[in-house]
Amino acid sequence: MSERGQLTTHERAASFAPRAGKPAFLARYGSVLFLLLLIGLEAGVVRFVIRDVRSANNEVQRMYASSVLGLHRIGSLQYDAQETRRSTLYALTTNDSNLQVVYADQSRGADARVTAGIAAYLQQATLPQEIELAHRLDQDWKAYLAARNEVLGLILEGSIKEAVSYDLARGVPLFDRVRVDLEETERLYDEQASQRLANVAALANKTIIRLVTVLAVTILVAGVFVWVLQKDKMASTMQMARMQMDFAASVSHELRTPLAVLLSAVDNIADGVVSGKEQLAKYGAVIRNQSRQINGLVNQVILFVSTQGGKGRYTLEPLTIAEVIEVAVTSTAELIRKAGFTLEQDIRPGLPRILGDISALSQCLQNLITNALKYSDQGRWIGIRASEEGSKDHREIRISVQDRGKGIDRAELHRIFEPFYRSKEAVAGQIHGTGLGLHIARTLAEAMGGRVSVTSEVGVGSTFTLHLPVMEDLGEPGEAVGRTVAQT
């Protein structure tokens, strides 16, 4: 039982369907999906770009705020510090107390700006080095201001010589310390500005790398997607071409044998080799049989073509299951008899009628019976059963055709309904066929609103079941219902 498999045509889709489900979806919506994928990727790229541009902008603004404005602040501090000292020294150049007071006032105005600037610098300092430097500058500035105040006092009280001496002894060294502090502050700002500039450059490089990477990924994904799409289409096309080649070879092979027999028979008759009524009758029978075989083959091909793409025309009418089976069995009786098969029928009484085309349904069953005949091997028995199954809401008629043949490998179950498909065993065993029978059977069943399922076990046999829906308003069995002509 391990090799036993079950499959329905609904589960394993329609023409070329067993392999065409996902690829068909891709083929149909592949372009849209590809476009959406590209849009998504491009949106991602744009998002990356915007984020990086914003980061760069923020970094540049931070750089401007902390470096350019900082340098401007340091420049102002340096100028005002010099102004503080310069105004103090100006007071030395005059004996006019009024002017001396003015210079002292200017010096104090400048030192107030420096003090405020240092406080602002201290407030915005974040790095330990900055904070330490700001504190040192603040202390040195206050020390210088104390000396400056002393010098101013000496100048104003008229002690010029003492003022100069004090300034040289205390003011100059203290102011030098302030100047060094300011220079160090400026150097620190320069370093920070350089660092931030390097950060901006690194960010720009990072952005470029990201862009290139994302674009490369986009192109790669798009390429892979196109490759997969094309590969799948190519595979489908090649498979179709291979099947068509197999079909052409199979049909040619199927035609060649009867044609050869026909030609031989006709040649013999034409050459006068055949004489006598009895021999002519024998040759006539041969010609008829071979012609029928050719006719049957041609009919299969025509039927296949006519059922593709919903082109079939059907006349729907209420039918009893018995008459459908009867037509099918009658049509294949000769084949069954010649092949030496035993046909066993089990048709449950009182089965409801179905709505369908008698020709299509009987053809469907004929194909299933013919298939059983071909692949039954030594087990020359065919069982046909008809029953009503299903739930109250979903009733259906099941007509199964069972054989005791080779069975079908589980791996091939999903392919047997494909057009032109022939199993390796069939090819190897030189079993005649075009690979269309089961496909046509399934197509016809679906055209009638039904389906075909199969269960099989290698070495035991196979059962193909035709499922047909029960129509509720068709009346009791045997009751006449008007014909309906439908085109599917």
Please name every residue paired with 398 in a beta bridge, in sequence order, or none if there are none.
Answer: 387, 467
Buried (b) or exposed (e) across 141-161, using 16+ Cβ within 10 A? bebbbebbebbbebbeeeeee
Binding string, residues 101-140; x marks residues near another protein by CB under 8 A: x--xx-----------------------------------
Q: 334: exposed, middle or buried (C-beta count within 10 Å: 0-12, 13-18, 19+)?
A: exposed
CB of 172 to another protein, least distance (A): 20
Please say whether the beta carbons of 399 and 455 come within 8 A: no
The two counts, helices (H) then strands (E), for the chain are 12, 9
CB of 164 to another protein, least distance (A): 16
CB of 150 to another protein, least distance (A): 8
Of residues 107 and 362, the one with the C-beta less far from another protein: 107
Of residues 101 and 212, the one with the C-beta less far from another protein: 101
Of residues 12 and 85, the one with the C-beta less far from another protein: 85
Calpha distance 30→154 (Å, rounded): 93
Q: Which residue has the tokens 């674009």?
A: 215
Please say whether the beta carbons of 112 and 85 come within 8 A: no
Of residues 94 and 252, the one with the C-beta less far from another protein: 94
Stretch that binds another protein, among 135-143, 145-153, 358-366, 428-436 (CB under 8 A): 145-153
Of residues 163 and 438, the one with the C-beta less far from another protein: 163
CB of 191 to another protein, least distance (A): 40
Q: Which of the residues 87 through 106 are near another protein (CB under 8 A)? A: 97-98, 101, 104-105
Of residues 157 and 334, the one with the C-beta less far from another protein: 157
Calpha distance 162→391 (Å, rounded): 122
Of residues 88 and 400, the one with the C-beta less far from another protein: 88
Please say whether the beta carbons of 134 and 118 come within 8 A: yes
CB of 84 to another protein, least distance (A): 14
Structure tokens at 96: 């006019």
**How many residues are listed for the chain in this entry?**
488
Of residues 82 and 149, the one with the C-beta less far from another protein: 149
**Alpha-carbon distance values, 154 to 110, 148, 149, 421 (Å):** 19, 10, 9, 118
- CA angle, corner 27, sides to 21 and 28, nearest 5? 90
Q: Which of the residues 146 through 205 are near another protein (CB under 8 A)? A: 149-150, 152-153, 156-159
Q: 218: exposed, middle or buried (C-beta count within 10 Å: 0-12, 13-18, 19+)?
A: middle
CB of 190 to another protein, least distance (A): 37
CB of 88 to another protein, least distance (A): 10
CB of 100 to another protein, least distance (A): 8
Of residues 2 and 98, the one with the C-beta less far from another protein: 98
**Residue count at the site for another protein (CB under 8 A)?**
13
CB of 149 to another protein, least distance (A): 7
Q: Which of the residues 389 through 448 are near another protein (CB under 8 A)? A: none
Calpha distance 138→333 (Å, rounded): 118
Q: Which of the residues 300 through 319 are near another protein (CB under 8 A)? A: none
- Residue 71 CB partners (closer than 8 Å, separation 6+): 186, 189, 190, 193
Of residues 106 and 218, the one with the C-beta less far from another protein: 106
Please name every residue paired with 451 in a beta bridge, in sequence order, or none if there are none.
Answer: 467
Structure tokens at 114: 């420096």
CB of 192 to another protein, least distance (A): 39
**Alpha-carbon distance values, 260 to 254, 288, 290, 338, 344 (Å):** 11, 14, 9, 22, 36
Buried (b) or exposed (e) across 114-132, using 16+ Cβ within 10 A? bbebbeebeeebeeeebee
CB of 144 to another protein, least distance (A): 16
Of residues 74 and 152, the one with the C-beta less far from another protein: 152
Applying CB under 8 A, the residues found at the interface with another protein are 97-98, 101, 104-105, 149-150, 152-153, 156-159
